[in-house]
Structure 1
Amino acid sequence: MRHSIFLFALLVTLGFGVTSCDTYLEEEPRDLVSPGNFFNTSSEFELAIVGIYDIYKDNSLHGKIGLDRYYENGADVIGPNRVFGQVEPTQSYSLSESNIGAIDQGAGAPLTWQNLYAIVLNTNSILDQLGANENISQEEKERFEAEALFLRAYAYYHLTNLWGDVPYYRDFLPIEEIQMLPRTDKTMIRDEILVDLQQAQDLLPSSYETNDFGRASKWTAATLMVKIYLIQQKWLEARDKAVEIITTSPHDLLEDYAAVFAPDNEYNQESIWEIDFIKDTNSNDWVDHFTPRIRDEPKDPSKQDALSAALAERNEGFTGYGLAIPLPDYVNKFPMDDLRRPSNITTEYLGFELNFAYMPKMWNLDQINSPRGNHGDNKIIFRLADVYLMAAEAENELNGPAAAYQYINRVRERAYEPDQPLAGLSQEDFRQAIYDERKWELGGENHRRMDLIRWGILLDVVKNTEYRIYDPASNIQPHHVLLPIPPEELQLNPALLESDPTNNGYR
């Protein structure tokens, strides 16, 4: 029997590594060690939880630009500087059932779907075994349960964002049953994972010791709740949960915006959750997509050798792919007096005028400690500035801007010198200010496209944005707010088309 979901036992036998598509699609479930034979001791459950985090480091999720492709590409912040093969149907809105599998095959949508459901399957197995286990303490059981609930909820968060209604299950089911599941309404899924996230928040620690940095805390779960509440337009719940994080958590805004992203300042006070990468062990290459490549630079080609020499003197290099860079629209509209601009946009380096604009808060030029393809830079998933802006948005939608200024202006304090606090705005004006403030504060950080979708303005924004090489305004259609379910999944499970024969409007 062929299936497209990892079995946890397979991950165990391979040291929690992600196997190739050809390998796991051909495995027979009965040939694998039963997960029930594995979970007995605390250390075994610990290894199982760590294995889930490792899946999130896969190229189809956070290790490369798997999720970035869907949450940033095709919005109004970043894009490519050149045409590069089949990687960009999401950017140009030429996406279809036929080309979704061709998107960067090591990190494309089919693997994103499969890995998210691998997480669902594996967390269900962990939760199932926790319920029957009598060998670990109640305290340990609650900790493992809380992490599993969060990690599963985070998977369903992405599944519903990218595909809308999706198969949903909470028990450890046989593969045969999983492959027959129809799609479940996304609202029901979100309502139920909100309950799970509240339980996770109640049980997870507020912070971790050094060795456990990178694990989800109670504030990680709470931040995900705020994001889901905003999608559902539950403004009161979103505001209250965001304020709870602001007033109760140990997190605070850093005084220096650039310091938030410094490679030597990981797990800083502003960071709520980071995906932890380690050079030579489980490194990433998402940084390379933001780092310039020397073939493109500088603007004056005759100075390329001089630029290379200047970089070498600093043990630096333009060795990246130079693909994810600020769009002209973003460069032209970003306020010139905003102190965040140098971290989000640079058009010169070491005195050389560059051919393209880049986002230096995301790049890493260090060739000694962080060579190409072997970066230990963590991926920031949630940080407190985002929570402040979500609190401001929810408060404005509830009661207008009067009490919302305190949250947005707290973020703006470090963005301008002297301060430029907002005041005297109507509710609609404040709403527009939030649209912009999130763009300047969080550009390139995997929030923009989902923001535009939940605000209902993605199509309008795309049609009015200046792009470098593509013309997505001519292609974008209302159904592009979601992805098509990959064709191989439809072949394995025809029930996926029962509630929507159009496959999210792509047929």
Structure 2
Amino acid sequence: MKSRSTFLAIMLSAGLVACDEEILNPVNPNQLGTETFYKTGPQLVAAVNAVYAGLQANNLYNREYFFLQDLLSDDNQSGGAQLEAPRAQVLNHVFDASNPLVEANWRGWYRIIHRANLVLENASQATDDITEDLRNRVIGEAYFLRGLAYYELSTLWGGVPLMTVSAVSPEGSPRSSQEESFDQAKNDLNEAISRLPLKSAYSGSDVGRATKGAAQAVAAKLALFRGDYAGAKAFLSEIINSGQYDLTARYSDNFEEENENNIESVWEIQFSEDFGANGGWNADGTDIAEVTFRGQEYGPNAWRNVIPGENLVNAFETTPKEDPRKGFSFYRLGDTFNAGASVLDESSVQGDNSKPSWKKYQTIYKRANENTQSGINFRVIRYADVLLMMAEAENETSGPAAALPYLNRTRNRADVMMPPYPTAQYPTGTKEQTRIAIQHERQVELGGEQVRNRDIRRWRRAGFLQSEPIAVYAERYNLLPLPTAELDNNSALTNADQNPGY
């Protein structure tokens, strides 16, 4: 999978040509289309590769996904450069339905859904050079990717139009309820779980494809969001008992290029500088550019558009020792980079250089400068996240004693070794106290990994927040607005379908 992605140009057309009163065959065997494609195993694999390729597009994990998640949370604040207006609106929670960042993510996820639908509709057509095991796996991959899309949409936008067949006309789809949207994600993920192999089944160019564990992890995230802790616990137990995953001894192995797809990786988006010549600015995913702009956007000696927020920086414990993850997560003046050959100084850091910059996912650990050609994979789900989700599920179903072994695993990593819970600052005698400890541990372990935004939303939804971490939060931001372009172009929607407050 860490190779040039295959993009499909499916041309749907119909026409009749008359000659001597005979109707000729309208299908051109040399033209890619649903009538001539999907005939072989390699073509079916190419079709599902095109779904993965949509994840690498500018409007998702290449750029706009991490911006949306980070700016909606309290993990980040504006850095050395002036944020573009749409991003500043999201950071300051003053956005509306016309915000381009919100629309970009919406479009990106529906592109994933459309491409996945094409695979699911046409998988049965492949008859040459294919085994039933391969067909079943590809179908599982498509269900996983569509389920991931509906998880993202339903947890951020609420009820959304449900498209389970590919679009063949301009006619729109009505909005479903949030519960119906949750159920669509759940059903897709369950289908994926039943079809996908374990991580160890993949090797070579197939490393990075969706796995049973990845589908179970997203299903667990969805269950937690819905408050179904027993359901989440069942999925998480399967992952933990699979023997496929463990924590890496070195925390930073999860954010550097040399250590991708490691034992802690449950699933990650594959990037590579080998195919980044176009830079990936094309938001519709048709430019083949398997790179991410994250290093350039967040880098301390690059644009530094986004830096760690004060809530996150201050969350790291300092007694009886400073949590090592703070140094692993942030760069400060005086830190070395470029394989130890360079030192960050005031002249190289934009803006208020007394504040830290992001170290996670930065390529300057091994080179002098960031650029838009970073090939570092995007770790969507780590095993540390699984363990902390399990701690939460156990706390809510069985109580603190069952939660503590999972909660303490991340603190017992070889290069972290923080004192186990309970601590003086974070007692765990009650379920409520353990919730606070879990919330703290998730914030410092997973900071800047696009997890915090959804954590805050689900804890707010469950009434688990002790205080509101986002000062400018208002009720209207419980859900993102349906984009204005969607309301304008979807004939099945009206302004009455918009979320409250927009």
TM-score w.r.t. length of structure 1: 0.81
Alignment partner, residue 307 of structure 1: none
Q: 1:134-193 deviations in whole A, cap 9, x for unaligned?
A: 44332121011111111111111111122111110222342334x2x1111222232233
Alignment partner, residue 297 of structure 1: none
Q: In structure 2, do the counterparts of structure 1 residues 379 and 229 end up closer, same or farther at CA, with 3 Å as the change threshold? A: same
| Distance apart, 1:109 and its partner CA | 2.6
Alignment partner, residue 57 of structure 1: 56
| Distance apart, 1:46 and its partner CA | 1.0
Alignment partner, residue 143 of structure 2: 149
Q: 1:12-65 deviations in whole A, cap 9, x for unaligned?
A: 239xxxxxxxxxxxx99669953232111111111111111111001111011x
Q: 8 Å contact 2:121–2:165 — kept in the other structure?
A: yes
Q: In structure 2, do the counterparts of structure 1 residues 458 and 280 end up closer, same or farther at CA, with 3 Å as the change threshold? A: farther
Alignment partner, residue 180 of structure 2: 188
2:298 equivalent among 276, 290, 296: 290
| Distance apart, 1:196 and its partner CA | 2.5
| Distance apart, 1:328 and its partner CA | 2.1
| Distance apart, 1:331 and its partner CA | 1.7
Q: In structure 2, do the counterparts of structure 1 residues 456 and 420 end up closer, same or farther at CA, with 3 Å as the change threshold? A: same
| Distance apart, 1:263 and its partner CA | 2.1
1:346 aligns with 2:346: no
CA distance in 2, matches of 1:39, 1:459: 48
1:448 equivalent among 452, 456, 478: 452
Q: In structure 2, do the counterparts of structure 1 residues 486 and 387 end up closer, same or farther at CA, with 3 Å as the change threshold? A: same
Residue correspondence of structure 1 range 263-302 to structure 2 within 5 A:
263-281=257-275, 282-292=290-300
Q: In structure 2, do the counterparts of structure 1 residues 418 and 67 end up closer, same or farther at CA, with 3 Å as the change threshold? A: closer
CA distance in 2, matches of 1:96, 1:63: 23
Instruction: Name the aligned partner's letter for residue 115 of structure 1.
Output: G
Q: In structure 2, do the counterparts of structure 1 residues 464 and 391 end up closer, same or farther at CA, with 3 Å as the change threshold? A: closer
Which consecutive unaligned segments of at least 5 residues does structure 2 have?
1-5, 16-30, 276-289, 337-342, 347-352
Q: 8 Å contact 2:41–2:127 — kept in the other structure?
A: no
Alignment partner, residue 204 of structure 2: 210
2:438 equivalent among 427, 434, 439: 434
CA distance in 2, matches of 1:120, 1:256: 36
Alignment partner, residue 244 of structure 2: 250
- State the 4+ residue runs in structure 1 displaced beyond 6 angstroms: 457-463
| Distance apart, 1:195 and its partner CA | 2.8
Match of 1:274, SS state, is strand
Q: 8 Å contact 1:389–1:438 — kept in the other structure?
A: yes
Instruction: Name the aligned partner's letter for residue 430 of structure 1.
Output: T
| Distance apart, 1:96 and its partner CA | 1.0
Instruction: Name the aligned partner's letter for residue 325 of structure 1.
Output: I
Residue correspondence of structure 1 range 233-248 to structure 2 within 5 A:
233-248=227-242
2:474 equivalent among 468, 472, 477: 477
1:96 aligns with 2:96: yes
Please identify, of 237-246 and 387-396, the stretch whose mean Cα deviation from structure 2 is larger. 237-246
Match of 2:185, SS state, is helix
Alignment partner, residue 300 of structure 1: none
Match of 2:170, SS state, is helix
Q: 1:82-137 deviations in whole A, cap 9, x for unaligned?
A: 54231221110010124x03xxxxxx332322221122122111111113444433
Instruction: Name the aligned partner's letter for residue 401 of structure 2.
Output: A
Q: 8 Å contact 1:36–1:129 — kept in the other structure?
A: no
TM-score w.r.t. length of structure 2: 0.81
Match of 1:62, SS state, is coil
| Distance apart, 1:458 and its partner CA | 11
CA distance in 2, matches of 1:478, 1:286: 30
Match of 2:354, SS state, is strand
Instruction: Name the aligned partner's letter for residue 134 of structure 2.
Output: E
How large is the RMSD of aligned CA atoms in angstroms? 2.7
Instruction: Name the aligned partner's letter for residue 94 of structure 2.
Output: S
Alignment partner, residue 312 of structure 1: none
1:403 aligns with 2:402: yes
Residue correspondence of structure 1 range 162-173 to structure 2 within 5 A:
162-173=156-167
Residue correspondence of structure 1 range 65-104 to structure 2 within 5 A:
66-82=64-80, 83-86=82-85, 87-98=87-98, 100-101=99-100
1:121 aligns with 2:114: yes
CA distance in 2, matches of 1:215, 1:73: 28
Q: In structure 2, do the counterparts of structure 1 residues 29 and 506 end up closer, same or farther at CA, with 3 Å as the change threshold? A: farther
CA distance in 2, matches of 1:448, 1:13: 36
Residue correspondence of structure 1 range 102-117 to structure 2 within 5 A:
108-117=101-110
Match of 1:325, SS state, is strand
Q: In structure 2, do the counterparts of structure 1 residues 401 and 174 end up closer, same or farther at CA, with 3 Å as the change threshold? A: same
Q: 8 Å contact 1:147–1:216 — kept in the other structure?
A: yes
CA distance in 2, matches of 1:243, 1:403: 13
* Count of paired positions: 441
1:13 aligns with 2:21: no
Task: Specify which structure has the higher proportion of helix.
Answer: 1
Q: 8 Å contact 1:74–1:462 — kept in the other structure?
A: no
Q: In structure 2, do the counterparts of structure 1 residues 458 and 80 end up closer, same or farther at CA, with 3 Å as the change threshold? A: farther
